[in-house]
Amino acid sequence: MTTTVEDAAQDVDAVTGTPQITAEQMRDKLKTLDWLREELAKSEPISATPFGTGNANIRFGVEHTDYDGVEGTDPVNAFVSIGPEGARREYRLTKDALLEATSICGLPKKYVMRTPPQFIEPQLNYWFRTGLGDRREYQALVVGEDQVAAAITKGSITPFSNLALVDRSLATIPA
SS3 125: helix
Say yes or no to pLDDT of 162 above 50.
yes
SS3 157: coil
Q: Are strands 75-82 and 89-94 parallel, antiparallel or unpaired?
A: antiparallel
Q: Is the CB of residue 82 less than 8 Å from the CB of residue 76?
A: no
- DSSP letters for 33-101: HHHHHHHHHTT-SEEEEEEESSSTTEEEEES----TT--TTSEEEEEEEESSTTS-EEEEEEHHHHHHH
Give the pLDDT band (50/70/90) at residue 116: very high
92/76 Cα distance (integer angstroms): 7
Say yes or no to pLDDT of 39 above 50.
yes
